[in-house]
Amino acid sequence: MSEPRTIDLLLAEARTRLRRLEPAAALAAQRDGAILVDLRCADQRRESGIIPGSAHVPLSVLYWRLDPTSGYDDPRLSDPVRQIVLLCADGYSSSLAAATLHDLGFARATDVIGGFTAWAAAGLPLEPAPD
Protein backbone atom coordinates (compact mmCIF):
# COMPACT_ATOMS: atom_id res chain seq x y z
CA MET A 1 0.00 0.00 0.00
CA SER A 2 1.41 3.39 -0.95
CA GLU A 3 1.69 6.33 1.40
CA PRO A 4 -1.05 8.94 1.08
CA ARG A 5 -0.10 12.16 -0.66
CA THR A 6 -0.02 15.29 1.45
CA ILE A 7 -1.65 18.62 0.71
CA ASP A 8 1.80 20.21 0.55
CA LEU A 9 2.78 17.76 -2.20
CA LEU A 10 -0.44 18.36 -4.12
CA LEU A 11 0.07 22.12 -3.86
CA ALA A 12 3.68 21.90 -5.04
CA GLU A 13 2.66 19.72 -8.00
CA ALA A 14 -0.18 22.07 -8.91
CA ARG A 15 2.12 25.07 -8.90
CA THR A 16 4.59 23.43 -11.29
CA ARG A 17 1.80 23.51 -13.88
CA LEU A 18 1.04 27.22 -13.51
CA ARG A 19 2.58 30.50 -14.60
CA ARG A 20 1.58 32.26 -11.38
CA LEU A 21 1.31 36.04 -11.36
CA GLU A 22 2.47 38.67 -8.91
CA PRO A 23 -0.40 41.03 -8.03
CA ALA A 24 0.77 43.84 -10.36
CA ALA A 25 1.06 41.37 -13.24
CA ALA A 26 -2.47 40.13 -12.50
CA LEU A 27 -3.75 43.71 -12.72
CA ALA A 28 -1.98 44.11 -16.07
CA ALA A 29 -3.49 40.83 -17.27
CA GLN A 30 -6.94 42.05 -16.25
CA ARG A 31 -6.39 45.25 -18.23
CA ASP A 32 -5.42 43.05 -21.22
CA GLY A 33 -8.65 41.05 -21.03
CA ALA A 34 -8.08 38.37 -18.42
CA ILE A 35 -10.88 37.82 -15.97
CA LEU A 36 -10.02 37.87 -12.29
CA VAL A 37 -12.11 35.42 -10.30
CA ASP A 38 -12.41 35.98 -6.56
CA LEU A 39 -12.94 32.67 -4.77
CA ARG A 40 -13.27 34.14 -1.28
CA CYS A 41 -16.43 33.79 0.76
CA ALA A 42 -18.94 36.62 1.07
CA ASP A 43 -17.83 37.40 4.64
CA GLN A 44 -14.21 37.90 3.56
CA ARG A 45 -15.30 40.09 0.68
CA ARG A 46 -17.46 42.27 2.94
CA GLU A 47 -14.63 42.57 5.46
CA SER A 48 -11.75 43.28 3.06
CA GLY A 49 -13.36 44.61 -0.09
CA ILE A 50 -13.17 43.41 -3.66
CA ILE A 51 -11.11 43.98 -6.77
CA PRO A 52 -12.95 46.21 -9.25
CA GLY A 53 -14.09 44.23 -12.27
CA SER A 54 -13.48 40.84 -10.68
CA ALA A 55 -16.07 38.08 -10.78
CA HIS A 56 -17.11 36.39 -7.56
CA VAL A 57 -17.39 32.63 -7.89
CA PRO A 58 -17.25 30.58 -4.69
CA LEU A 59 -14.80 27.71 -4.95
CA SER A 60 -17.62 25.23 -4.29
CA VAL A 61 -19.17 25.99 -7.71
CA LEU A 62 -16.14 27.20 -9.69
CA TYR A 63 -15.77 24.18 -11.98
CA TRP A 64 -19.45 24.11 -12.92
CA ARG A 65 -19.46 27.86 -13.70
CA LEU A 66 -16.46 27.54 -15.98
CA ASP A 67 -17.12 24.22 -17.72
CA PRO A 68 -19.20 25.06 -20.81
CA THR A 69 -20.61 21.51 -20.84
CA SER A 70 -21.87 21.54 -17.24
CA GLY A 71 -25.25 23.10 -17.87
CA TYR A 72 -24.44 25.60 -15.10
CA ASP A 73 -21.72 27.63 -16.77
CA ASP A 74 -21.45 31.39 -16.71
CA PRO A 75 -20.87 32.50 -20.31
CA ARG A 76 -18.62 35.35 -19.09
CA LEU A 77 -16.26 32.75 -17.65
CA SER A 78 -16.60 29.58 -19.70
CA ASP A 79 -14.37 30.45 -22.65
CA PRO A 80 -11.39 28.10 -22.27
CA VAL A 81 -9.24 30.37 -24.46
CA ARG A 82 -9.59 33.39 -22.19
CA GLN A 83 -7.07 33.86 -19.40
CA ILE A 84 -8.58 33.16 -15.99
CA VAL A 85 -6.73 34.48 -12.93
CA LEU A 86 -7.94 33.10 -9.61
CA LEU A 87 -7.59 34.76 -6.21
CA CYS A 88 -8.29 33.27 -2.81
CA ALA A 89 -7.31 34.86 0.48
CA ASP A 90 -3.62 33.88 0.46
CA GLY A 91 -2.90 31.97 -2.76
CA TYR A 92 -3.20 28.35 -1.70
CA SER A 93 -6.61 27.04 -2.72
CA SER A 94 -6.44 29.18 -5.87
CA SER A 95 -3.35 27.24 -7.01
CA LEU A 96 -5.12 23.92 -6.61
CA ALA A 97 -8.18 25.31 -8.39
CA ALA A 98 -6.15 26.71 -11.29
CA ALA A 99 -4.46 23.33 -11.81
CA THR A 100 -7.90 21.70 -11.88
CA LEU A 101 -9.00 24.23 -14.50
CA HIS A 102 -6.02 23.13 -16.60
CA ASP A 103 -7.45 19.62 -16.43
CA LEU A 104 -10.75 21.04 -17.72
CA GLY A 105 -9.02 22.60 -20.74
CA PHE A 106 -8.32 26.11 -19.44
CA ALA A 107 -4.64 26.15 -20.40
CA ARG A 108 -4.24 29.84 -19.44
CA ALA A 109 -5.70 29.50 -15.95
CA THR A 110 -3.45 30.67 -13.16
CA ASP A 111 -3.54 32.39 -9.80
CA VAL A 112 -2.08 35.31 -7.89
CA ILE A 113 0.95 34.72 -5.71
CA GLY A 114 -0.12 35.63 -2.19
CA GLY A 115 -3.77 35.96 -3.20
CA PHE A 116 -6.00 38.84 -2.16
CA THR A 117 -3.78 39.57 0.83
CA ALA A 118 -0.82 40.31 -1.47
CA TRP A 119 -3.03 42.34 -3.82
CA ALA A 120 -4.18 44.57 -0.96
CA ALA A 121 -0.65 44.84 0.49
CA ALA A 122 0.59 46.03 -2.92
CA GLY A 123 -1.87 48.91 -2.77
CA LEU A 124 -3.72 47.81 -5.91
CA PRO A 125 -7.31 48.91 -6.59
CA LEU A 126 -9.99 47.84 -4.13
CA GLU A 127 -13.57 48.83 -3.53
CA PRO A 128 -16.22 47.93 -0.97
CA ALA A 129 -18.14 44.74 -1.63
CA PRO A 130 -21.68 45.30 -2.83
CA ASP A 131 -24.45 44.69 -0.31
Counting beta carbons within 10 angstroms of the beta carbon of residue 46, is it exposed (0 to 12), middle (13 to 18) or buried (19 or more)? middle
* Per-residue pLDDT tens digits for 18-77: 999 999 999 999 999 999 999 999 999 999 999 999 999 999 999 999 999 999 999 999
C-alpha 48 chain-centroid distance: 17
Distance, CA of 22 to CA of 121 (rounded, Å): 12
Helix (H) or strand (E) holding 8: helix 7-16
pTM of the model: 0.94
Predicted pLDDT of residue 131:
79
Tell me the three state secondary structure of residue 122.
Answer: coil
